[in-house]
Amino acid sequence: MKVSPSIKAFDPAAPASASVPGSSRKKPSRLMAGLRKWRGFLLAVVLPTALAATYFYAIAAGQFASEARFLVRGSSGGGGALGGALGAALGGAGFKPVQEEAMAVRDFLRSQDAVRAVRQSVDLVSIWRRPEADLPAMLWTDEPSVETLTRYYRRMVTAEYDSESGTVAVQARSFRPEDSRLLAEALLVASENLVNQLSERQREDTLGTARREVEIAESRVLAAREALTTFRQEGRAIDPARESAANVASVSALEGALTQTRAELQEKGAYMRADNPQIQLLRNRISALERQIVAERERLTTGEHAVPQQLANYERLMLEREFADRQLVSAAASLESARVDAARQQLYVARITQPQLSESPQYPKAAFTVGSVFVVLAVVYGIASLILAGFREHAA
Amino acid sequence: MSAAGTVPEPPSRRERSHWLIEGIATQGRVIGALIMREMQTRFGRHNLGFLWMFFEPLFLGCMVGLMHTAHGRQLPGGVNPFLFSIVGYVPFFMFRSIVNRAGSALHSNLTLLFHRQVTPVDVMIARNLLEAAAVIGVIVIIVSGAAWFFEIVPANVAQILFALILMCLLCHGLSMMLAAATSRWEGLDRLIHPITYLMMPLSGAFYALHWFPSHLRELLLWNPLVSLHEAIREGMFGDRFPSYYDIPYVVWWILGTNLLGLAALRTARRKLNIF
């Protein structure tokens, strides 16, 4: 390279810049030679950096950010994630199984669904096409498809989950501070809706089974009572147990009367003649009592309405009723505890910082961007020039 | 380069095209010739010859995989332990062999470097291409074998390849830096081996970052090799378990090491030419 520039090129330049009074130390020919020598660097690194600097410092419209932070609260863990101070800087998102809901909200905020949800209340397209917006940073089309809008949205809206504090930070950028606040507020409302929906769903799931259990127990109780009533109506018995006790008592009363009557007959037969009408009377009474006892026994032990049968049916029905009652009681208790659980698992968004109106534009980060453009280009230029020098070496 | 100017013009045998095309063509020929030479000096002409190049990492990888399988621990996500360790070990094998050989690269090719058209960069590129080809070939064999026999289809082949290429570039940059450094400080060569050996547990070859608490994870991710191994694993196993990597960070490393390596080799060559 040192030999390549010709001497002739410097000559016309020498008197021209020698007349310039400002250039004090360097000879003009040296300046031109320097420019020529470094022209690759100037073209590939300095020029793009200068362009970037012009854009960022002179042309780019300021973007105002509005940030909100919130916690997703619920019983499923208070976000006690460990460590991760270097956090999202390196590995992207620090995944933690705790606080799934907060992660879900973050994923929602990055999704197309969020765009659709926010679009219902905020006119995203006109917000990002304000007249003061500069061309490279604004939304390019007037009627973007949802996909285009989502791509742009992901540039302007960031949602981060901080695993250490368990908070979700959502940041919205636009070209006016009030727009940004509006957008951040809309995003917060959308996340609140999502969390409420999740919570409602969870509540339904928890309570649904308990409610169904209670319903089953209730119908069982009703059926048991119904069956008991039918039994009583059909058997014409209110309480077969007590009734049969009464029947047995009446039979034994009849037997007592029979024994007494027999004794009386014995006694009277000792001093009365057999054809005495009193004796006849007693005999008649005895035979009547005997028939009555046989009939009663018959009635108690055989046939459709026999007492053992009746009693067995009755006791089965009573047992069924008792079980049904117990089931109802336990189902009601578990419903109650499910209700308590659901109340405890209730999710809600707890706002930590409200979206604010920013007073000065925070984006684009001019110095950082220009600096990194310069560093990247310089490194790439260095590698490229070394590789090219290698080629040249081989060609020589 | 100043030396190049003083050399008398070679007799022109044919029409000369633009120096850039000429240079690329010559460098390509030089690298091709160096690769042939490297294969013959390393593997010889008889027996299986350069097939050994594939067998070495394949055999080692399979042995390591079998050891881990025999160990019989369960991996999260139901991942096959054999495949898990082989996919981790083989890229690490490339890193180790490229970096370990870097120290002796210039020394063993010192005679060739007296030719004006053979530069240290050519030597490094030839050697590293050979290693990279071997390892990529082995990965292809293993991945297609797994897909063919066990029906374990990689989730994203392009990602595996991309991460492997990034790894080659990173190792290339590192090896150039080390080659230049060893030509300056002889004793450094002795340090490279233990350092690469110690890198083994730090490089993420045998574990997934998912198994670690997040603070340890962040510490390990400072090592670009960890990111690359994670990316390869994600390409292989998809989202069976979460992966953590930062490709832009790795690209920074690649750019930095390559720039420093190229620059260092240029200065090293001047020193080499003297004696």
> Which of B117, B262, B266 should be substituted to probe chain A, the one whose Cβ sees the most A Cβ atoms within 10 Å?
B262
Residue A84 has pLDDT above 50, yes or no: no
Q: What is the mean pLDDT of residues A54-75?
A: 82
Give pLDDT tens digits for A272-303.
Answer: 777 888 888 888 888 888 888 888 888 777 76
| DSSP per-residue letters across A194-237 | HHHHHHHHHHHHHHHHHHHHHHHHHHHHHHHHHHHHHHHHHHT-
B30 touches chain A (CB under 8 A): yes
Interface of B with A in 198-257 (CB under 8 A): 209-210, 213-215, 217-219, 221-222, 242, 244-246, 249, 255-256
Give pLDDT tens digits for A169-198.
Answer: 888 888 888 888 888 888 888 888 888 888
Find all residues with CB under 8 Å of B55, minimum gap 6, and list them: B48
B2 touches chain A (CB under 8 A): yes
What integer pLDDT is reported at residue B166 of this predicted model?
A: 92
Q: Which chain A residue is nearest to residue B224, measuring alpha carbons?
A: A90
Q: Is B4 close to A396, i.e. CB distance below 8 A? A: yes
Which residue in the set A376, A390, A395 is minimally distant from B121, CB to CB? A390
Interface of A with B in 134-163 (CB under 8 A): 163
Which residue in the set B19, B23, B213 is minimally distant from A82, CB to CB? B213
d(CA B235, CA B209): 15
DSSP A170: E
Q: Determine which helix (DSSP H) or strand (DSSP E) holds A148, and give its type and residue range.
A: helix A146-156
| Cα B110 to Cα B57, B106, B114, distances in angstroms | 28, 6, 7
Under the banding of pLDDT at 50, 70 and 90, the label for residue B275 is: very low
Q: Is B27 close to A83, i.e. CB distance below 8 A? A: no
Domain ranges for chain A, please list them. 64-206+344-358, 211-342, 365-396
Q: Which of A101-110, A300-309, B17-26 has the lowest mean pLDDT?
A: A300-309
What integer pLDDT is reported at residue A22 of this predicted model?
A: 45
Contacts of B259 in chain A (CB under 8 A): 379, 382-383, 386
Interface of B with A in 126-165 (CB under 8 A): none
Indicate the SS3 state at residue A348.
strand
| Side chain identity at residue A326, one-letter code | R
Q: How far is B101 from chain A (nearest CA, A)?
A: 22
Task: Work out whether strand A157-162 and strand A167-174 pair parallel, antiparallel, or are unpaired.
Answer: antiparallel
Q: Which chain A residue is nearest to residue B17, measuring alpha carbons?
A: A395
β-bridge partners, A67: A171
Extract the tokens encoding A110.
């990055």
Long-range contact pairs involving A327-336 (C-beta distance under 8 Å, separation at least 24): A327/A216, A327/A217, A327/A220, A327/A221, A328/A214, A328/A217, A328/A218, A328/A220, A328/A221, A330/A217, A331/A210, A331/A213, A331/A214, A331/A216, A331/A217, A332/A214, A332/A217, A334/A210, A334/A213, A335/A207, A335/A210, A335/A211, A335/A213, A335/A214
Task: Work out whether strand A167-174 and strand A348-353 pair parallel, antiparallel, or are unpaired.
Answer: unpaired
Q: Are A309 and A181 in contact (CB under 8 A)?
A: no
A295 touches chain B (CB under 8 A): no
Q: What is the mean pLDDT of residues A203-213?
A: 86
| Side chain identity at residue A376, one-letter code | V
Give pLDDT tens digits for A313-343.
Answer: 888 888 888 999 999 999 899 888 888 877 7
Write the CATH number of the domain with boundaries A211-342: 1.10.287
Q: What is the mean pLDDT of residues B211-233?
A: 85
Q: Which of A381, A383, A386, A395 is nearest to A40 (CA)?
A: A381
Find all residues with CB under 8 Å of A116, minimum gap 6, and list them: A146
| Side chain identity at residue A295, one-letter code | A
Q: Are B122 and B177 in contact (CB under 8 A)?
A: no
Find all residues with CB under 8 Å of A40, minimum gap 6, and list them: A381, A385
Extract the tokens encoding A197.
């929906």
Q: Which of A93-102, B16-25, B189-198 has the highest mean pLDDT?
A: B189-198
Q: Are A326 and A16 in contact (CB under 8 A)?
A: no
Q: Which chain A residue is nearest to residue B7, measuring alpha carbons?
A: A396
Q: How far is B7 from chain A (nearest CA, A)?
A: 9
Give pLDDT tens digits for B151-170.
Answer: 778 888 888 889 999 999 99
A393 touches chain B (CB under 8 A): yes
> Which of B18, B239, B259 should be substituted to probe chain A, the one whose Cβ sees the most A Cβ atoms within 10 Å?
B259
CA gyration radius for chain B? 21
Give pLDDT tens digits for B243-263.
Answer: 888 888 999 999 999 999 988
Q: How far is A6 from chain B (nearest CA, A)?
A: 14
| DSSP per-residue letters across A272-341 | S-TT-HHHHHHHHHHHHHHHHHHHHHHHHHSSTT-HHHHHHHHHHHHHHHHHHHHHHHHHHHHHHHHHHH
Domain A64-206+344-358: CATH superfamily is FepE-like (3.30.1890.10)
Report percent pLDDT > 90 for chain A.
Answer: 3
Average confidence score pLDDT of chain B: 82
Whole-structure pTM value: 0.65
